[in-house]
Copies of this chain bind each other. A is one copy, B any other.
Amino acid sequence: MGMGVAASLLRAGHEVCGCDLRAEARGEFAAVGGEAVARPDLLPPDLGALVLLVVNAAEADEALFGPAGAVNGLPPGTLVLGSVTMAPQAARALAARLSALGHLPLDAPVSGGPARAREGALSVMASGSAAAFAAAEPIFSAIAAKVWRLGEEPGVGSTVKMVNQLLAGVHIATAAEALAFGIRAGADPTMLFEVISASAGSSWMWQDRVPHILAGDDAPRSAVGIFVKDLGIVLEEARTLTFPLPLAAAAHQLFLAAAAAGHAGRDDAFVIRVWQALTGIPLPAKE
């Protein structure tokens, strides 16, 4: 996601310095004309904004406040866009810490995946101060097709993103369960896809992910491991709130099972490998 966002900002005419631990990511960004550094404390001293696209709250804390963190080098009043899927409580704590230092935090998780990030067409679910929204305007216009303005309270953006990930994760696992069952019952998977896509059983994820299975292509657009993480965040927050989520918990177990079977890095639709491993159903082969 970070690469796509950085490239979209560059394309829109911004000066962009990327930061990634991985040399190949820095090389890839250099190849499209960007600069990149290996550590957050090596970022230029005159940043107008910092866009955080890391995997979780712990990485966000490390990138900002760790030994090689960026926060000490930020000019006063810097916009910090927290585009990280994290628990709302973590988003609120991060915003409070940044505000206390005089910066402008925006709780702004994104949705759409790496492909939409490259096109500058993400959805952003954002909450924070009017000043932070104003400062984020030129960034949003470069990276987002849709910005949801969800009020002044940090944490609302992360709450909405968390609820979205709950639904998205359960829907992917359910698409896999249903397609696998249909195959076992003797239905043609392409026919099933076509009929269900036009019926009451359809979902955004059914329409987006099932074609990966039909093509036999498990190259990761978004990986099984991401939902091990995201549904993990959802379930941790639910435990903190003492709230039962039986469907999210069952779906999480299925992504864990797929990861256990060696598929953590494969496309998330291939959570269907769990049923393949258990039942031996045939899946479409890659052409």
Contact = CB atoms under 8 A, between A and B. Distances in A.
Interface of A: 88, 111-112, 123, 125, 146, 148, 150, 155-156, 159-160, 162-168, 170-171, 173-175, 177-182, 184-187, 191-192, 195-196, 198-206, 208, 234, 237-238, 241-248, 250-251, 253-254, 275, 278-279
A251 B247 contact: yes
Contacts of A123: 198-199
Q: Nearest 5 pairs between A and B by C-beta?
A: A167-B201, A203-B203, A164-B201, A163-B182, A250-B250
10 contacts: A88-B185, A162-B185, A164-B200, A166-B201, A167-B201, A171-B171, A180-B243, A181-B234, A203-B205, A244-B279
Contact of A174 (B171, B177, B182, B279): B171
A150 to B, nearest CB: 7
Contacts of A195: 125, 148, 150, 160, 164
A180 B243 CA distance: 9
B173 A196 contact: no
A160 B245 contact: no
Nearest to A257: B246
A168 to B, nearest CB: 5
Contacts of A159: 182, 185-187
A187 B278 contact: no
A146 B198 contact: yes
Contacts of A247: 170, 173-174, 177, 247, 250-251, 254
